[in-house]
A and B are shown apart, each in its own frame.
Chain A
Amino acid sequence: MPAVQETVERVKRIDVDQYRYGFETLIESDKAPKGLSEETVKFISEKKNEPAWMLQWRLEAYRRWLTMTEPTWARVDYPKIDFQDLYYYSAPKPKKTITSLDEIDPEILKTYEKLGIPLREVAMLEGVEPKPGEEDPNRRKIAVDAVFDSVSVATTFKAELKKAGVIFMPISEAIREHPELVQKYLGSVVPTSDNFYATLNSAVFSDGSFVYVPPGVRCPMELSTYFRINERNTGQFERTLIIADKGSYVSYLEGCTAPQRDENQLHAAVVELVTHDDAEIKYSTVQNWYPGNSEGKGGIYNFVTKRGDCRGNNSKISWTQVETGSAITWKYPSCILRGDNSRGEFYSIAISNGYQQVDSGTKMIHLGKNTSSRIISKGIAAGRSQNTYRGLVTAHRKATGARNFTACDSLLIGDKCGAHTVPYIEAKNSSATFEHEATTSKISEDVLFYCIQRGLTQEEAVGLVVNGFVKDVLQQLPMEFAVEAQKLISISLEGSVG
């Protein structure tokens, strides 16, 4: 069975309640001492066998962080986080050096099986390798660099990627094996001083993915990494760096799921993308962190900094996100349109239910000439949740001919939730053309009754209507994610009506 189909089949088989990934894997782990100090930073760096320059980089970030204060401008409300009451590192205890998938802890493999991730190369390789230009989307392969509680435990498809010259590995490995690339690009899009959470991440990031696509190469497969929190009270600090060199292309997929638990968990990831001349990166996310229980207790705090730099002319960066989880979401995947004729895109579905709070959007910063950007945001608020779109579109003095189109649609389910739109628009060049459209609507009783009269249950009806509402964005997702995302959307709205 082709890998994609297998994923789809497995996803179908997963039959869980409200929060379907609420299981925990029992494995021993290797933790840093509780709290944050120079010692913690050194501990992490040492665990990762990092070179001195990396430790220095982390320590500088840490010292910087000590001088910073938490931002409070977002429309989210949560009790103060005690940063000394968290663990900053945990890794599954390796029994020995891993050389093949068979050696991985079966418990871990089982977890991935439950998530429906086709880890086994065997299944992957069933697909016949297509010639360039003849790719059959149904047989497209996915390389999975599975991040399990901060440490990558398995990397598949390495050989094929290597043949193409693509570097895809845990960032901890890249720091050792490709220090010249990491040193050149790490922090070049999101500097260590960028913001409170990004700076914290710079000090204590545990692992993440590193991708480098050499000039002229079209990455032969979708790259996908599944992040998963599995330790109680463990902050998760992922660091991802993707570089598309001149004329190259890569599509990267990220999905998050986390087990159910009572205490809040902090997640502060940083993702940096760089595209050179004529290069393109497509970055897709399905985020499904534990949103908290029906009383709003527990749930992940998700403070993410994602930014792409269209450094070269005619380059393109496209963000697509489906946000269904987390108690708090604070996330603005952005594009710096530096190269002339560069293009940025942001497609977002943000769903909030229960007591979830979402403050998410994007920034499109037009610096180069004839740069263009497109923002399509679909916010769905249900239960007692608050859902905010916050977006910034700017054209700098030299950004002649900059163009932006923004459409923000909000859908309300029930009468105890809120949807908010906060667009910031600044044009310092008179030739800029910025368009902004926004709508807010309520899911209508008549539409629901129509569907129910045709045999759908109330929940199926809501799922259908909502999936229609977000269709424009779902279409932007790679097929294998679109199927899962569609299921997720219905699941995350369960119990939102009636």
Chain B
Amino acid sequence: MALLEVKDLKVRVEEREILHGLTLTVNEGEIHAIMGPNGSGKSTLSHVIAGKPGYEVTDGEILFKGEDLLAMAPNERAAKGVFLAFQYPVEIPGVSTMNFLRTALNAQRKARGDSEYSTPDFLKKVREVSKSLNIPQDMLKRGVNVGFSGGEKKRNEVLQMALFEPSLCILDEMDSGLDIDALRIAADGVNALHSPKRAMVVITHYQRLLNYIVPDVVHVMSKGRVVKSGAKDLALELESSGYAQYEDA
């Protein structure tokens, strides 16, 4: 069943069109990789799906579980199950990771009409989840991403993904700034969260990440459009031939 349907999406930033009619369908349980050179509009797509301010959608639509996603506020989208793992997770000094997780989780539950977690229930849940991802408790006491290494920041994103249980995870250049060990740890976390109901959209420059997170479908983006889609072999092909052949497509 289609989870995310992007139809002929046109997006502008400050009068300049970045996406020129992009179409993409992601079904439940699928892993899609979106590859493409710098400036092809990969991050724009992820931001527009998540609802970041500053982008103007001039045409097309995005349906999420059949509903008009663009009509929802960004926090509503989060509560509906859209999760964006950021390329550069921000630091929030003075706010402990634990407090942040609880505030966010309860905000989402409230928006869905579920009861908020009590402190003991929340602590139990967060301990379970962090243990399954091998995340030390100590990290939860520190300020959100404050003084975290690149790897720790990405693991914090994975932890949130596990805790919030979204149905669509968009990983925006998750491999940037990670060494090979950190990359493997983060990718293992993502793989552990893959399920028949949960879809992943992996945005990356490099084929490297796809050795760890194996996609069902690979899309090549160029100049604001999806110019080619194929199976996982397409990524390998790109690795050897580069993006140049698609630049003029």
Contact = CB atoms under 8 A, between A and B. Distances in A.
Most chain A C-beta atoms within 10 Å of own C-beta, residue among B79, B100, B111: B100
A346 to B, nearest CB: 19
B143 interface: yes
B160 interface: yes
B100 to A, nearest CB: 7
Given A445-B53, A449-B53, A460-B103, A455 B94 contact: no
A6 interface: no
A392 B50 CA distance: 48
A310 to B, nearest CB: 30
B111 A464 contact: no
Interface stretch (A148-156, A182-190, A393-401, A465-473): A465-473
B107 interface: yes
A467 B90 contact: no
A468 B92 contact: yes
Contact of B107 (A456, A465, A471): A456
Contacts of A451: 92, 100, 104
Interface size on B, as a range, is 20 to 34
Contact of A468 (B73, B75, B143, B160): B143
B99 to A, nearest CB: 8
Contacts of B73: 457
A174 interface: no
Interface string B226-240: 000000000000000
B94 A467 contact: yes
B81 to A, nearest CB: 10
A83 interface: no
B95 A455 contact: no
A450 B90 contact: yes
A446 interface: yes
Most buried by A among B50, B74, B79, B111: B74
Q: What secondary structure prevails in chain A residues at the interface with B?
A: helix
A61 to B, nearest CB: 44
B20 to A, nearest CB: 25
B94 A470 contact: yes
Given A460-B107, A468-B143, A449 B95 contact: no
Contacts of B95: 464-465, 467-468, 471
A463 to B, nearest CB: 9
7 contacts: A447-B90, A450-B86, A453-B52, A453-B75, A453-B84, A456-B104, A457-B73
Interface of A: 444-447, 449-458, 460, 464-465, 467-472
Interface of B: 50-53, 73-75, 78-79, 83-84, 86, 89-95, 100, 103-105, 107-108, 111, 143, 160, 164
Given A450-B92, A453-B52, 10 more contacts: A451-B100, A451-B104, A452-B51, A452-B78, A453-B51, A454-B160, A457-B73, A457-B75, A467-B95, A468-B94
